[in-house]
Amino acid sequence: MSVARTHSHLTVLVRFNEGAHWEEWHLRTNRGNKSNKPVKFSATQHWRSDHGVRPIPFAATSGSYASEREAHAQFSCEVAACGGELLAVTNQLSNLLRERFGHSVA
């Protein structure tokens, strides 16, 4: 009998050049009972402030990891390597993006 997998979803913002460029990413994890790397992780870009600028050279990434923490840390390292800063969604940031770009964070 198989065990049900657990799923989680997290929306994050990525800031570049002190806020000159922004991106919204959706992070999804899917945890099962496999003993080796039980967490399936995917990240997809949902929105970016300037379609002519692509500081992160990919629009999606995925992989298998030992834990959700490891998956998020790896994504954070990939973002940092591209010059970005990963930020949690807050009301203040949501309001800033709505005022500046007309974007409502999902």
**Is the pLDDT score of 65 beyond 60?**
yes
Poorest-pLDDT segment among 23-27, 31-35, 40-44, 59-63: 31-35
The residue among 85, 103, 95, 8 whose CA lies nearest residue 48 is 103
Mean pLDDT within 68-87: 95
Residue 105 lies in a domain: no
Single pTM value for the model:
0.89
Bridge partners (DSSP) of residue 41 are 29, 63
- Characterise 18 by phi-psi region: left (phi > 0), alpha (psi -120 to 50), beta (else): left
Other C-beta atoms lying within 10 Å of the C-beta of residue 8 = 11
- Does residue 56 sit within a domain? yes
Which structural domain, as residue segments, surrounds residue 54? 6-100
Average of per-residue pLDDT across 7-17: 95
| 3-state helix, strand and coil shares in percent for the chain, rounded to the nearest 5 | 25, 40, 35
Q: Rg (Cα) of the chain, in Å, rounded?
A: 15
Domain membership of residue 96 (yes or no) is yes
Inside any domain, residue 106: no
Percentage of the chain beyond pLDDT 90 is: 75
C-alpha–C-alpha distance, residues 100 and 88, integer Å:
18
User: Position of tokens 């954070």?
Assistant: 76
Dump pLDDT digits (tens) for 80-105.
999 999 999 999 999 999 999 999 98
Q: Please give the average per-residue pLDDT across 61-90, as a whole number.
A: 95
The count of structural domains within the chain is 1
